A and B are shown apart, each in its own frame.
Chain A
Amino acid sequence: ETGVTQSPTHLIKTRGQQVTLRCSSQSGHNTVSWYQQALGQGPQFIFQYYREEENGRGNFPPRFSGLQFPNYSSELNVNALELDDSALYLCASSLSGGGPIDNEQFFGPGTRLTVL
């Protein structure tokens, strides 16, 4: 069984640039959730994708967008980067969409984004 993988591991961008982060879900999982984890904080939900459709969104501006592909891998795109976007971006896959009860999320190792 292949776990959740993310790429790249680290990334440095400057303000105003755009970034794309990638996530491969665990084998058999059709749902991917993205989280932002600022230094010293807990993860904060950005959005979830279930069968290629957005299926819930947290309190993030529209410049945070995503995609899910037919193989259930996913991308997180962030436009017009701001300094406060510096964080660890985590993706988590699960067997089905919806809430976490009886639907464990498996997290990837994250992508560390630094915005200068």
Chain B
Amino acid sequence: GESVGLHLPTLSVQEGDNSIINCAYSNSASDYFIWYKQESGKGPQFIIDIRSNMDKRQGQRVTVLLNKTVKHLSLQIAATQPGDSAVYFCAGHSGNTPLVFGKGTRLSVIA
């Protein structure tokens, strides 16, 4: 089965620095991954996704990297802002299975 985890439960960065949040997954058949942002009192919000036939995808200030060899993905946030403070989840999908979420990393931005 799929299990998705994160390397660190918390991450503190200075405003303006780049943030890197990591995620490992166990199911080599996983074909799709999503990063979500969850602010306090809100549901998860889609940030960026990537399919398993890609190794990099860029959005606005965010980049997701996928390394299928070691079953690892990361979310990079450029020029981190206070509004980026939240819990970040990676979620993986394979075949007809539902999304499997990791436990989350809490990002704190220090002004």
Footprint of B on A, CB under 8 Å?
4, 33, 40-45, 48, 56, 58, 90, 92, 98-101, 104-110
Complex: how many Å from CA A110 to CA B101? 16
Which listed residue (A44, A56, A101, A104) contacts B46, Cβ 8 A?
A104
Q: For residue A47, give the distance in angstroms from its CB to the closest CB of chain B.
A: 9
**Chain B contact residue count (CB 8 A cutoff):** 24
Q: For residue B79, give the distance in angstroms from its CB to the closest CB of chain A.
A: 25
User: Chain B at the A interface: mostly helix, strand, loop or mixed?
Assistant: loop
Check A42 against B96 for contact (C-beta < 8 Å): no
- Please indicate the chain B residues that have their CB under 8 angstroms from the CB of A106 in the complex: 46
Produce 1/0 per residue, B51-71, CB < 8 A to A: 100000000000000000000
Assuming A40-B103, A58-B98, is B43 touching A110 (CB within 8 A)?
yes
Complex: how many Å from CA A42 to CA B51? 21
